[in-house]
Amino acid sequence: MKYRTIGTDPATRREVSVIALGAMLFGTWTDEETAFAVLDRFVEAGGNFIDTSDNYAFWYDGGVGGQSEELLGRWRRSRGVGDEIVIATKLGARPLAPGTSYIDNPEGLSAKAIRSATEASRERLGVEKLDLLYAHIDDATVEQRETVEAFGELVAEGTVGLLGVSNQAMWRVERARALAAGAGLPGYEVLQYQHSYLRPRSDVPSDLFPDGSLGHAGAELLGLLRAEPGLILVAYSPLLTGAYVRADKPLPDDYDHPGTPARLAVLHEVAKETGATANQVVLAWQIGAELPVLPLAGASSLAQLEENLAAVDLELTADQRARLDAAH
């Protein structure tokens, strides 16, 4: 396994594996026995970075989520896992009532909601401190200063280590970071956004993002990474839920544009040259990128996990990387 540092403060920064394990479906679609086997193998291979959220997976049974955190808590207790494993979780998008969603009824990012959600996640995970806590979505109903100060209090108390943000417009992220810096408080250091080898359109609206998908890592985010070396992108859904390798998994609609075929062609050329799968090339392309990108990939079987882990040791040549980058 290879590792990289997230965070800049010596008191909170952590060394994490260059690939993170997504636990979103653990405890729901992925049964406990399988999830435990995947977690055990990930740790055996040197993986120490696991990602979840307080709302995973509310859509499975129409509830409010928490199943993934609860399973990770049971796994930690059964294996005697301590703080050598970095577990990241998120808050803000947990539905307030069964049968609702984060779109119309989220817990949000008020000071009260942040403290309550943090305590509940710590209890479900069975930890005294959350290593990395994200604001999962934005909350326009709350002044950003309130959110920034609430997160800062948790870090000062020692119940939270690093702070991260997901699915917010970059101008909102930078405004929050500026507020934190001006108040002498810790700010967002980890950015979790959807990022893969194929480039999506950014103007395709959705229920959550009517102005286009703010969940994608676009030019503004990548520019921010270049300007702020202390930041890192944790790239969720890097494998597009299997669409690179499975004929029964079509690409999402926002990838339907003229640039996609050219990039797919080069991707499959490089996969053939290396003897790797397209998935492994995508992960290796991210891991070895010039910008700090850490892929976050889920696995619902040991076979999927082994495929992902093998990407850590896949070294792309300078020519292969240049061809992948240039395709459009």
Q: How far is CA 223 from CA 217, 219, 290, in A?
A: 10, 6, 12
Q: Report the alpha-carbon distance of residue 108 to residue 92 in Å, rounded.
A: 4
* pLDDT on residue 138: 95
pLDDT tens for 39-54 read 999 999 999 999 999 9
Cβ–Cβ under 8 Å, residues 154 and 185: no
Cβ–Cβ under 8 Å, residues 58 and 21: no
For residue 30, give its domain range: 3-326
Three-state DSSP class for residue 30: strand
* pLDDT on residue 216: 87
Cβ–Cβ under 8 Å, residues 271 and 319: no
Cβ–Cβ under 8 Å, residues 49 and 17: yes
Q: What tokens appear for 46 in the block?
A: 């040197």
* pLDDT on residue 212: 61
Q: Report the alpha-carbon distance of residue 214 to residue 168 in Å, rounded.
A: 6
Answer yes or no: pTM beyond 0.85. yes
Cα–Cα nearest to 236, from 43, 55, 22? 22
Phi and psi angles of residue 15, each rounded to the nearest 5 degrees, phi first: -95, 120
Residues of the chain with pLDDT under 70: 206-214
Question: Rounded to the nearest 10 degrees, how much is the dihedral formed by the CA atoms of 13, 15, 19, 23?
Answer: -60
Q: Report the alpha-carbon distance of residue 248 to residue 285 in Å, rounded.
A: 24
CATH of the domain at 93: 3.20.20.100
* pLDDT on residue 206: 62
* pLDDT on residue 157: 97
Cβ–Cβ under 8 Å, residues 16 and 84: no
Q: What tokens appear for 280 in the block?
A: 């492994």
Burial class (CB in 10 A: 0-12, 13-18, 19+), 317: exposed
The tally of domains found in the chain comes to 1
